[in-house]
Chain A
Amino acid sequence: MSEMNSIKKILREQKIDQWDIYVEEAEQYEIQLRNFDVEAERGPVTNSGYSVRIIKPKNKKIGIGIGTGNSLQPEHIKRCLDTASIGADITEFPGYIMPKPETFSTVKIADHEIMSDAESVVKDKTEQLQSLLKRSKTVLPTFGKIRAYTVSTRINNSEGVQAEKKETLLYIELALKAAREGKLAEYWPTRTVRRAEDLQLEQQIPKWTKLAEDTLNAKAPKTMKASVIFAPDTLGNLLPDTVGFHCLGSTVFKGVSKFNKGDQVGSSDLTVYDDGLYNYGLGSSPFDDEGTPQSRTVLIEKGLHKNFLYDAMYGAVLKANSTGNGQRMRQIDLKYSALPSLQPSNIVVKPGNMSLDEMLETTKEGIYVERFSAAQSDPLTTSFGSEIRNAYLIEKGELSTPLKGGQISGFLLNSQEAKGEKTIGLINRVSGMTREFQMARRCITPYIRFESVQVSGK
C-alpha cells in the first residue's frame, strides 16, 4: 500500500477532493516457437504503474482528468497530479457519480499455478505442446507462442472504496500447417484463458490439426443464401461488438442504439446476459475498473430487450445505477494508463437444447464455419463480412467439402436500408443453438445456426 499512501499524501497536501487511484503491477513470461524450436524466451518482463483521476464539478458539467506514472518519487507523483488536474480543468463530461464502498461478490479470476510460478507453467505448456504436435505426421507448427501474466490491481477513491484483486491470464497463438503436392493449408488459432488447465491442449491439438489437414482439400463456396452454423470462436467478437455495443447506456445517450426496452430485437429463443461474475471469464472481476461491483445483467430475454449497461458516468447521466461496466480497455499490463469507458464485461448467450451433432443432422444444406479471417462487425451499423478461412459445406446433414475463400456477410441486428426497407438481422434468424458452449475472448456462447445468410464466392 506504500504507493497508495504516497499518492494520497500529496492529494491531501494539494487539497484535491474527488479522486481515484488505480495501481497495477504486471509480470509476464513467454516462449516463442519457430517450428518445433524455441526462438525466444522472454521474462520477466515487468510493468507497474498507476493513474490518478481527478474529478472537478463545473456548472452543470463535470471535468475529469487523468495522470499516469511509474515512479513514486514525489516530483513524479506531483507531475502526474498536475496532468490530471489540468485535464479536469479543461474537459467537460455530462455527469459522474464516484462509486461508494460496497460489498464485492466472489468470482474466480486467478490460477494458483500461474500465480505461484508463471515461468514454469509456460515451460511446461510449451513442452506439452511440442510433444502433442510431434504426434502428427502431416501437420507442422510454423510458429507458436505461450505467454502468462500475473497482475495485481488496487483501486482507492475519495469516497472510501478500497478494492484489490490478483488475476492471471494465459495466451496461446499457434499456426499449424498442412502441405501436400504443393498445396498449403493452415489453422491459426488463438486462445486466452485464466487457468492453465483451460488450455486443454490434449483435446484441442487433434481438433486443430484435423482442421489444417481438411483445409488442404478446401474449395471456395458459390454465391448463395444458406443456413450457416457459426462456431463459438467466430462469435467471440461479433456478439460483444453488436449486441453488447447497442446495450450500452452510452449508445442510448448518443442516440445510436438500435434497442429500446421491451422491443423484440432477436429470435424468441435468444437470451443474452452481460455477466461480469462468470468464473474465469476474461471480463470477470469482483469490481470494475472504477471500483463498482461487477454484476450479471439480462440484456435480451427470449428475444426481448430487457436492460442497458452503465458505468459511473452514464449511470449518473441516465439516472440508473452503474452495472459495474466501467472498463479500462487496454492490454492487461497497460490498463492503468487508460481512462475507464463503458463496455460489456462477458457477453453470455444461453445455450440451446440440441447437440452440435443434432444441429448438423437437421441442416439439410448449409455451411459450418470454424474460423473467419477476422470476424469483426461495424458496431454502429452492425454490418459484417469476412473471408472464410476454415469451414465445411453441410450436405444431407453431414459435413462434406471443406471450404476456404469467399465470404459470409450480413447485419447482426435489424437495419434500415436506403429506400426505407428493413434488413432482418442475423440474431432474428436464429434457427438453433447447441447445448455445447465455449468461451471465445469476452463471449461465452453456443454454436448458433442462422438462416438465409449471404455467401459470396465465384
Chain B
Amino acid sequence: MIDGSSSEEAKDMLADAIGILEDEVEYADALCERVQGVQIAKDKAEERVSAPPTAVSGIVLRAYKLGQWREAGTYSFSGKEVRELARKIAKFQPMSKTAVKLQELKPWKLDATLAVKIMPSEVETEEKLEQVRRLYNSAMSCDKRIINTTVGFADVTSERTFANTEGSMLRQVIPRTSVFLMPVAREGGKIDYDYLSTGGNAGFEVVKDLEEKIIKETVDSSIGLLKASAPPSGHFTVILDPGMTGTFAHESFGHGCEADQIVRKRSYLVPYFGKRMGFEKLSICDDGSVAGGNGSFLFDDEGVKSKKNYILKNGVLKSFLHERFSASLMNAEPTGNGRRESFLRKLFVRMTNTYVEPSDYSLDEMIEEIDNGVMLVHSVSGMEDPLAGGMELKSKKGYVIERGKVGRILSTLTLSEKVPDFIASIDAIGTKDQFDTEIGTCGKGYEDFIPVGDGGVFIRGRAVVGQG
C-alpha cells in the first residue's frame, strides 16, 4: 500500500500510544490514516497523473483534559516517533478555563471495508488513463465548437484505524472515485461550458461505465450555454433543481446546524430549535450511512458509528449535528459527525450526505404556477453564513420562467436570501422520482476540505437572483 507499516502494525502502534496516554489524561484517542490513489487530469495540452491532494497519510494523537484538546501528528509510521509524541502531549497543561467532562461511550470493535464493484487499486494507472482519454476524445469529437475539454479522474482509498482509551479499536477502508468532465464551447467570441461531476463511495466502474450519451448531454449543454443570456437581477420566485437543493440543504442550512457553531454561540438557528421554520412537507437529513454516498463511512474520526439524523423534520428544527465535545457540552448524543480533513488538521463537526426528502409536487406543476420566475440548474458552489443566516448559492445555468412556461436559457447565476426567509417561502417540494444526489467537497469556512454528498428534489421558494 503506502510507505510504512501494515494494518496490524498500525493497530499496535496506536495501542502503544494510547497506553502511554491513558493514565495521564481524562481521555485520548489515536487515528492512523493511510491513503493511496491516483488523480488524472487531461485536456488538449496535458495529461497529468499524480497523487490526489487528499492522499495524505499520517497519525494524529489527541488527548483531553479539563475541557481542552491537545494534539500532535506526524507523517512518520515509526513506532518510536509516535510514542515520543504521545509522551510529549501526555503531561500537557490545559490553557482552557472551562472544565467540561467528556461523555463516556461504549467501546466497540470493527474491521470492515465499504465494498465497491471494482477496487481502484486493482486497476493499472494506464487503464485509468485510457478511460480518461476515451471521455476526452468522445467529448472533443461531438461538435466542432468544442475547443477544449478537461477530464478529471480521481480514486482515493482511505484506510483509517482508530483506538481510544475507552477500549475501541476500529478499522475501515473506504474507496471513493470521481469523474469530472468539462467541455468548453466557443462560437464567435463567446466561450461557455457546462460540466459533469459524478462518483462517490464507488470504484473504477464510475468511469468505465460512464455512457457516451451522458458525455453527449454534457457537450450539448455546453453548446446550449453559448445562446444563454445574463440572468435578470432582483427578487423572484425560484425553482432549484435537486443539485441546487442539496447545496442549499448543506451550505445554507446544514452549516448552521453543526453543534460546534451552537456552543460557540455562532448560529442563527438557536432561537428556532424545536420550532416550525418551514411547511410540514419539508424535511432535511444528514446521513453518513447512505450506501454509495460520497460522505459515507462506518465510523467518524472519533469512533462514533455513522447514522441518519433528521435536522429539520416536517418543517420543525429537530436536532443539531454533534461530535463528542459539543455533545458533552450540550448533553446530547454524538451523531457521528466528527470528521477531520487529515492528520494535518483539527477535527470539527462536519456533515456527511445532506439532502431534502421528497414530497408530492411534479416539476410541471411548480412551473405552471409561476408567472415570473427563474429556475436554477446545476449547482456550482455555496457559502455558509452560520451566524447570520445569509445564503449564497451559485448555479452554472438557469431558465427564465414566464407565464407558466420555461423560457430563455441563462448562464451562471447567484441566489441569495436570508435562510429562514427562504425556508419559510418554500411552498412546493418534488416527488421521489426526481431525487438525485451530487458529490462535493466541503470546507469548514475557508479550509478543512472533506468529501460530502448532497441532494434532494426540485423545490420552489423566493430569493434574490443575480449573475454568478
Contacts and interface: CB of A to CB of B under 8 A. Distances in A.
A185 B268 CA distance: 10
B80 interface: no
A177 interface: yes
Interface string B111-126: 0000000000000011
B431 interface: no
Nearest to B385: A373
A115 to B, nearest CB: 20
A383 to B, nearest CB: 5
A250 interface: yes
A43 B73 CA distance: 7
A10 interface: no
B275 to A, nearest CB: 14
A93 B381 contact: no
B378 to A, nearest CB: 13
Contact of A37 (B58, B97, B388): B97
A250 B73 CA distance: 38
Given A32-B346, A66-B50, A385 B266 contact: no
B418 interface: yes
Interface string A395-420: 00000000011111110000111111
Contact of A140 (B68, B76, B265, B346): B265
Given A173-B445, A185-B388, A255-B148, A68 B51 contact: yes
Contacts, number: 273
A256 B385 contact: no
B90 to A, nearest CB: 14
A345 interface: no
A47 B416 contact: no
Interface residues of B, number: 93
**8 closest pairs, A vs B, by CB?**
A456-B466, A416-B189, A409-B467, A142-B266, A71-B3, A385-B414, A456-B233, A407-B466
Interface range on chain A (Cβ under 8 Å from partner): 35 or more
Contacts of A28: 344
A129 interface: no
Contact of B346 (A40, A331, A381, A456): A40
Contact of A91 (B47, B264, B344): B47
Contact of B383 (A142, A387, A416): A387
B281 interface: no
Interface in B1-38: 2-4
A359 B229 CA distance: 34
Interface in A205-262: 215, 220, 223, 250, 253-256
A45 B343 contact: yes
B327 interface: no
A98 B92 CA distance: 49
Interface stretch (A162-170, A194-202, A333-341): A333-341
Interface string A255-285: 1100000000000000000000000000000
Interface in B317-358: 325, 343-344, 346
Contacts of A317: 45
Contact of A186 (B388, B391, B413, B464): B388
Contacts of B92: 41
B202 to A, nearest CB: 23
Contacts of A49: 75
Contacts of B234: 223, 456-458
B44, B68, B72, B75, most chain A CB atoms within 10 A: B75
Contacts of B51: 66, 68, 337
A389 B233 contact: no
A32 B200 CA distance: 31
A407 B94 CA distance: 44
Interface in A30-49: 30-32, 34-49
B394 interface: yes
Contacts of B95: 31, 38, 41
Interface string A56-82: 000000000110111101001001000
Given A254-B148, A383-B411, A454-B233, A42 B71 contact: yes
Given A66-B50, A186-B388, A94 B45 contact: yes
Contacts of A423: 230
Contacts of A91: 47-49, 129
Interface of B: 2-4, 43-51, 53, 55-58, 60, 67-77, 85, 92, 94-98, 125-126, 129, 147-148, 184, 186, 188-193, 226-230, 233-235, 260-261, 263-266, 268, 271, 325, 343-344, 346, 381, 383, 385, 387-388, 390-392, 394, 411-414, 416-418, 445-447, 464-468
B228 A86 contact: no
A255 B147 contact: yes
A378 interface: yes
B424 to A, nearest CB: 15
A386 interface: yes
A132 interface: no
Interface of A: 28, 30-32, 34-49, 65-66, 68-71, 73, 76, 79, 86-87, 90-94, 140, 142-143, 173, 175, 177, 182, 184-186, 188, 190, 215, 220, 223, 250, 253-256, 313, 317, 330-331, 333-334, 337-339, 341, 373-374, 376, 378, 380-381, 383-387, 389, 404-410, 415-420, 422-423, 454-458
Given A91-B129, A330-B53, A373-B392, A406 B464 contact: yes
Given A34-B263, A387-B392, A46 B73 contact: yes
A44 B88 CA distance: 9
B464 A457 contact: yes
A93 B45 contact: yes
B77 to A, nearest CB: 8
B128 to A, nearest CB: 10
B346 A378 contact: no
B68 A177 contact: no
A33 B129 CA distance: 45
B83 to A, nearest CB: 15
B392 A374 contact: yes
